[in-house]
């Protein structure tokens, strides 16, 4: 019963997103975002802790509140964009997207390299896979979390795969990605969330603070000589988007495997920090990114 309720809500907002003028929808989403930031004390606390850890005293409380509200707004815009793409053609989604440094990916494809695209929960991250598949006429395998609702999980997969993107679940992702790369299929991973040491995370610096991060892309890159290409999406108005490719993360291969993986993972953390620092309002500040070393900071006084 609950699954069908979720589906009804999804269909309702999908309809609204397609019939309401953009300015009206934007107004509604901003209102919901402000209300959510005020009422959701748990995630407001996490957002503020993260911003303090990342920027220290460089931000005022007013700055943190502004970014916090925008965090919810960016998430809602990402979800609405996901809904509006349902049933669209590839050329329809590409008309509002500008690609920067696309030669980086084109050169890697031309050279028949094994390619790993890395990004973060930044901007309208859900738009990156269908845009790349549509633009570069290539296969792309992405990693995603299985939703608790089976019905909504099927909706998610259908929406993602309508443009040719294929999804594998996070559990057992290494095997699926290895298989895809060996078959010369491009893969995409999100690397900005905490991954505990027991789950295989390695310690790197992020905003000059210690964190645990997934070494997945580094391991695959080193083992298969795969090229890791950072790619991020940004927007000023949630109508026109820019997808930017960055120089590949150098493959480090010495006799010290552990050190090699650490260096590559740190390089991935560095590019994420660079992008997020430029436009912090577009990152999803709700994750407990630093909890591996700063867990006490996330605890709230009762």
Residues of the chain falling short of pLDDT 70: 1-7, 301-302
Place of tokens 């930031």: 37
pLDDT value, residue 119: 98
Query: pLDDT for 52-100, tens place per residue?
Result: 999 999 999 999 999 999 999 999 999 998 888 877 888 898 999 999 9
Q: How far apart are CA 95 and CA 144, in angstroms?
A: 26
pLDDT at 12: 79
Q: Domain segments of the chain: what residues?
A: 2-298
Question: Does CATH number 3.40.1130 belong to domain 2-298?
Answer: yes
Whether the CA torsion 166, 170, 176, 182 is positive or negative: it is positive
**What pLDDT score does 231 carry?**
98
Q: What is the pLDDT of residue 2?
A: 67
- CA 213 to CA 192: how far, in whole Å? 7
Give the count of alpha carbons within 13 A of 9, CB side only: 9
């Amino acid at each position: 019963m609950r699954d069908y309720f979720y589906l009804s809500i999804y269909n309702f907002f999908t309809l609204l997103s397609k019939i309401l003028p953009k300015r009206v929808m934007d107004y509604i989403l901003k209102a919901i975002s402000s209300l959510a930031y005020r009422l959701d004390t748990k995630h407001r606390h996490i957002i503020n802790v993260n911003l303090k850890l990342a920027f220290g005293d460089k931000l005022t409380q007013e700055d943190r509140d502004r970014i916090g509200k925008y965090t919810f707004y960016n998430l809602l815009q990402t979800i609405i964009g996901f809904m509006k793409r349902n049933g669209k053609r590839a050329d329809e989604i590409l008309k509002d997207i500008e690609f920067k440094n696309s030669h980086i990916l084109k050169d890697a494809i031309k050279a028949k390299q094994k390619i790993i695209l890395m990004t973060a929960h930044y901007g309208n991250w859900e738009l990156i896979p269908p845009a790349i598949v549509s633009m570069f006429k290539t296969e792309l395998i992405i990693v995603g979390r299985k939703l608790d609702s089976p019905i909504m999980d099927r909706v998610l997969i259908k929406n993602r795969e309508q443009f040719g993107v294929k999804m594998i679940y996070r559990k057992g992702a290494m095997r699926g990605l290895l298989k895809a790369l060996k078959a010369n299929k491009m893969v995409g991973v999100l690397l900005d969330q905490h991954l505990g040491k027991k789950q295989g995370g390695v310690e790197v610096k992020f905003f000059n603070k210690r964190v645990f991060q997934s070494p997945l892309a580094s391991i695959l890159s080193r083992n298969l000589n795969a090229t890791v290409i950072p790619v991020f999406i940004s927007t000023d108005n949630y109508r026109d988007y820019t997808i930017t490719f960055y120089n590949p993360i150098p493959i480090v291969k010495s006799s010290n495997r552990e050190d090699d993986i650490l260096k590559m993972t740190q390089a991935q953390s560095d590019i994420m920090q660079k992008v997020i620092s430029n436009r912090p309002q577009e990152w999803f500040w709700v994750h407990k990114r630093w909890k591996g070393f700063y867990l006490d900071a996330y605890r709230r006084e009762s």
